[in-house]
Amino acid sequence: MKKIVLMMLAFAATVFGAEEAAEIVKVSVETDANGAMIAAYSMIAAGVGLGLAALGGAIGMGNTAAATIAGTARNPGLGGKLMTTMFIALAMIEAQVIYTLVIALIALYANPYLTVG
């Protein structure tokens, strides 16, 4: 639930910021210093965001695998069920990282702050 609220806040901030950025950026992106600065910051944000997402995903996947191994060691009869549940959890964790990749690609190639007003 927290993730959904934070994502909605991020989208709202993007919408309000895009209106403000459209007023600031009046000339072509190639010749505008503000456009170049926004593009540079977008690249940095995409790299840092993907790095943090990959780190969080790796930690989550490690914890999931460790819990599955511990559960299988305690009750080997449930190994198959635990493995199935682990793969579902790993897919959900990886989906979070892919969402971050999509947001980073949007920031790099379809940046709403680089629109010409």
Rg (CA), the chain: 20
| C-beta neighbour count of 43 within 10 angstroms | 14
pTM of the entire predicted model: 0.63
CA 42, chain centre distance (Å): 13
Question: By residue range, what is the domain housing residue 68?
Answer: 30-111
Assign 26 a pLDDT band (cuts: 50, 70, 90): very low
**Is 25 contained in some domain?**
no
**Is 21 contained in some domain?**
no
Angle between helices 79-109 and 33-74 (to 10 degrees): 180
pLDDT digits (tens, 9 = 90+) for 94-111: 999 999 988 888 888 887
Per-residue pLDDT, 12: 63
**Is 9 contained in some domain?**
no
**Is 24 contained in some domain?**
no
Residues 6+ apart with CB under 8 A from 101: 50, 53
Nearest alpha-carbon partner for 92 in 61, 66, 63, 62? 61
CATH of the domain at 64: 1.20.20.10
Number of domains in the chain: 1
